[in-house]
Amino acid sequence: MFGDLDEDALVAKLAELRREHRALDAEVRAAQECGVVDQLKLVRLKRRKLMLKDMIFALEDQLNPDIIA
In the predicted model, residues of the chain with pLDDT beneath 70 are 1-4, 69
Statement: the pTM of the whole predicted model exceeds 0.85 = no
38 within some domain: yes
23 within some domain: yes
68 within some domain: no
pLDDT at 38 (0 to 100):
85
pLDDT at 45 (0 to 100):
94
Cβ pair 61, 16 in contact under 8 A: no
CA 46 to chain CA centroid, Å, is 10
41 within some domain: yes
Give the count of beta carbons closer than 10 Å to the beta carbon of residue 7.
9
Residues 10 and 62: their CA atoms lie apart, in Å, by 9
Q: What is the mean pLDDT of the chain?
A: 89
State how many domains the chain has.
1
Residues 63 and 52: their CA atoms lie apart, in Å, by 16
| Domain ranges, residue 30 | 7-63
pLDDT at 69 (0 to 100):
59
pLDDT at 68 (0 to 100):
72
